[in-house]
């Protein structure tokens, strides 16, 4: 197992450096290469079909948040009422990966969905004491938010019902969010900020799974033999003119 090999190498290196204080040869144990796999991405049509087969409004609202804002599943279930800023159309993500706070986009369609979900749990005419610290997606157990595993199960069931053969997880919706933004011409740095990536090369991998972005690039082969812009001389012609 690759993770085990990496842990074994790090443990051995620590043992030699700290316990007997013996120098660790640079190439004593070579690191294993970790295979890089492209993320699974749904097309816009597949995403639309997927949401039509989500079983309940509770799970539909949560999964739409994952896709509409590009959130991780752990960030979706941990959202609180006070994290919704409908004035600036933002979602506040508290202590995401790497213990970092950030803001994610709140689309008008997602806001409508979240309001519909909230009204379904708080019918008009009934009094409910709420606070900004209340969970947006509360769990069945009092005081707890929605369970991550239950949302993952609902996601897999919706994908099967929609006839999608790809391996779909809540994180697939986050991958699809980033890829679709890239295909629509959104700057890579903005996508990086929305996803909360610390390195832009992590975000850049979505260019590899975007057929639109790849197709938009013109091959240098197609430029061969084309006339050069007027007013410019090649270095060979310039040399002959000077001679």
Length, in residues, of the chain: 243
Among 187, 197, 3, smallest CA distance to 93 is for 197
Measured distance CA(218)–CA(196) in Å, rounded: 31
Q: Is 171 known to be catalytic?
A: yes
Q: Is 97 known to be catalytic?
A: yes
Write 169-173 long-range contacts (CB < 8 A, 24+): 169/73, 170/63, 170/66, 170/72, 170/73, 170/76, 171/39, 171/66, 171/72, 171/73, 172/39, 172/40, 172/41, 172/42, 173/42, 173/47, 173/63, 173/66, 173/67
Q: Which two tokens stand for residue 57?
A: 């409004």
Q: Which 3 state secondary structure label does DSSP give 119? A: helix
Residue among 58, 60, 145, 174 flagged as catalytic: 174
Residue among 9, 53, 94, 97 flagged as catalytic: 97
Measured distance CA(89)–CA(162) in Å, rounded: 30
Measured distance CA(91)–CA(191) in Å, rounded: 15
Is residue 32 within 8 Å of residue 5, measured between CB atoms? Answer: yes
Measured distance CA(204)–CA(189) in Å, rounded: 9
Q: Which two tokens stand for residue 183?
A: 């295909």
Residue among 92, 94, 169, 171 flagged as catalytic: 171
Residue among 72, 102, 145, 180 flagged as catalytic: 72
Q: Is 145 known to be catalytic?
A: no
Among 125, 124, 122, 87, smallest CA distance to 106 is for 87
Residue among 92, 169, 197, 205 flagged as catalytic: 197
Residue among 58, 59, 67, 206 flagged as catalytic: 206
Q: Is 197 known to be catalytic?
A: yes
Q: Which residues are catalytic?
A: 72, 97, 171, 174, 197, 206
């Amino acid at each position: 197992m690759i993770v085990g090999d990496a842990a074994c190498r790090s443990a051995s290196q620590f043992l030699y450096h700290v316990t007997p204080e013996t120098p660790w040869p640079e190439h004593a144990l070579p690191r294993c290469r970790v295979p890089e796999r492209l993320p699974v991405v749904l097309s816009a049509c597949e995403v639309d079909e997927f949401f039509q087969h989500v079983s309940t409004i509770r799970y539909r609202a949560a999964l739409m948040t994952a896709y509409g804002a590009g959130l991780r599943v752990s960030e979706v279930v941990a959202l609180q009422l006070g994290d919704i800023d409908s004035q600036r159309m933002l979602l506040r993500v508290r202590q995401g990966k790497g213990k970092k706070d950030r803001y994610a986009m709140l689309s008008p369609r997602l806001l409508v969905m979240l309001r519909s979900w909230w009204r379904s749990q708080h019918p008009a005419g009934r009094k409910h004491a709420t606070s900004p610290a209340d969970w947006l997606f509360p769990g069945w157990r009092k005081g707890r938010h929605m369970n991550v595993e239950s949302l993952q199960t609902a996601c897999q069931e919706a994908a099967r019902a929609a006839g999608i053969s790809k391996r779909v997880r809540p994180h697939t919706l986050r991958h699809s969010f980033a890829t679709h933004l890239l295909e629509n011409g959104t700057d890579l740095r903005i996508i990086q900020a929305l996803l909360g990536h610390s390195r832009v090369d992590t975000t850049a991998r979505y260019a590899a799974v975007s057929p639109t972005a790849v197709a938009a690039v013109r091959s240098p082969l197609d430029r061969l033999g084309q006339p050069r812009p007027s007013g410019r001389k090649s270095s060979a012609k310039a040399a002959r003119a000077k001679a």
